[in-house]
């Protein structure tokens, strides 16, 4: 406590000194002096709560997922069995000229969509870039900070394009989920209808992914958020209906983001377990004889 007090006194002293210099120089209290950043020592704060717990948990969660996804993407086996195809490898793109894992050809799309997502940006700017680590806690960087106004973070503006691509991938994942409802090789043959643990996991995954994808801030803007008048035309009234529905999803965007991140990892893990004969895909019922 005493150390913190001393640090703060020093902060305040620097700040007052800076203001005094400013007053002497220009007699203008509202002007700022770009060269001097007063009272800004890294991680200085008066907060006594566990402010570090949130960003630390998020950093841990992201790191574990990134490690798992990277290992699985490069593993290049145990990603397909019977009617189950891992979401990391879907759509399965196989070309003669490509000699590496097909996951690499597809994973950049969901990765890019999440990396540019407004929720994830908040999360990793806090947890990894420490700008700031928490509210009221001094982060990294001084006056040169330029946020998303310059390279590299200006690239975040491609988010809506990543959304378009992610929607295509999502449609393919729905197709994969539908395939789990039929025994392998009998897609849309209703005499071979079945429902397995794999079906349950695949459908949960695509529902969570849909909740996340269609609650996206960019989509919210595209369906009607960009309009100023909702009542002006029949088209804008319809847009408002869509906008309201997307807004409902968007209000829990963080929850959908985490649910879908966990579900996509777990779905892949389940496929790996089945493909490597660790567990069977238990079938609840099947019409196939």
Partner 1 sequence: MRNAQMRVFRGDATGGDFKEYTVPVEDGMVVLDAIHYIQREIDPDLAVRWNCKAAKCGSCSAEVNGRPSLMCKSRMESFAEGEIIFVEPLRTFPLMRDLVTDVSWNYEQNKRIKPFTPKEDAKWVMYQEDVERVQEFRKCIECFLCQDVCHVLRDHDRKDAFIGPRFMVRVASLEMHPLDQGDRMKFLHDEGGVGFCNITKCCSEVCPEDIHITDNAIIPLKERIVDDYYDPIAKFFKTIFSKN
> Distance from first CA to last CA of the chain, Å, rounded?
73
46 forms part of the interface with partner 1 (CB under 8 A): yes
**Residue of 108, 257, 282 lying closest to 195 (CA atoms):** 282
Q: Using CA atoms, how far apart are residues 209 and 266, in angstroms rounded to an integer? A: 13
Stretch touching partner 1 by CB under 8 A, among 85-93, 119-127, 203-211, 278-286: 119-127
Minimum CB separation of residue 209 from partner 1 in Å reads 21
| Dihedral sign computed on CA atoms, order 105, 110, 116, 120 | negative
DSSP 8-state secondary structure symbol assigned to residue 230: S
Helix 53-75 to helix 118-127 angle (10° resolution) is 110
- Residue with smaller CB distance to partner 1, 173 or 257: 257
103 burial type by CB count under 10 A (0-12 exposed, 13-18 middle, 19+ buried): buried
Subset of 24-43 contacting partner 1 (CB under 8 A): 29-30, 32, 34, 36-40
Minimum CB separation of residue 276 from partner 1 in Å reads 41
50 forms part of the interface with partner 1 (CB under 8 A): no
7 forms part of the interface with partner 1 (CB under 8 A): no
Give the interface with partner 1 as residue ranges (CB under 8 A).
1, 5, 8-9, 12-13, 15-16, 19-20, 22-23, 29-30, 32, 34, 36-40, 45-48, 118, 121-122, 125-126, 131-132, 135-139, 141-143, 145-150, 153-154, 157-161, 217-218, 220-221, 225-226, 228-232, 240, 250-251
């Amino acid at each position: 406590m005493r150390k913190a007090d001393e640090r703060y006194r020093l902060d305040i002293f620097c700040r007052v000194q800076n203001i005094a210099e400013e007053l002497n120089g220009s007699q203008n209290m509202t002007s700022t002096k770009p060269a001097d950043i007063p009272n800004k020592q890294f991680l200085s704060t008066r907060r006594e709560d566990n402010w570090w717990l949130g960003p630390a948990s998020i950093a841990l969660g992201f790191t574990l997922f990134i490690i798992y996804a990277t290992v699985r993407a490069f593993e290049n086996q145990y990603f397909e069995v019977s009617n189950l195809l891992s979401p990391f490898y879907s759509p399965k793109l196989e070309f003669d000229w490509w000699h590496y894992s097909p996951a690499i050809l597809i994973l950049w799309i969901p990765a890019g969509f999440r990396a540019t997502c407004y929720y994830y940006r908040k999360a990793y700017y806090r947890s990894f870039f420490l700008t700031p680590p928490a509210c009221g806690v001094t982060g990294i960087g001084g006056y040169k900070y330029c946020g998303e106004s310059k390279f590299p973070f200006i690239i975040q503006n491609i988010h809506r394009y990543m959304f378009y691509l992610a929607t295509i991938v999502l449609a393919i994942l729905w197709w994969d989920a539908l395939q789990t409802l039929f025994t392998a090789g009998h897609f849309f043959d209703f005499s071979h209808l079945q429902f397995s643990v794999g079906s349950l996991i695949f459908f949960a995954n695509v529902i969570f992914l849909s909740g996340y994808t269609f609650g996206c801030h960019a989509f919210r803007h595209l369906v009607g958020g960009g309009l100023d008048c909702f009542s002006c035309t029949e088209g804008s009234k319809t847009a408002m209906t869509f906008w309201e529905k997307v807004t409902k999803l968007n209000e829990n965007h963080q929850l959908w983001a985490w649910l879908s991140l966990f579900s996509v990892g777990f779905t892949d893990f389940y496929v790996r377990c089945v493909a490597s004969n660790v567990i069977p895909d238990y079938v609840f019922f099947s019409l196939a004889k």
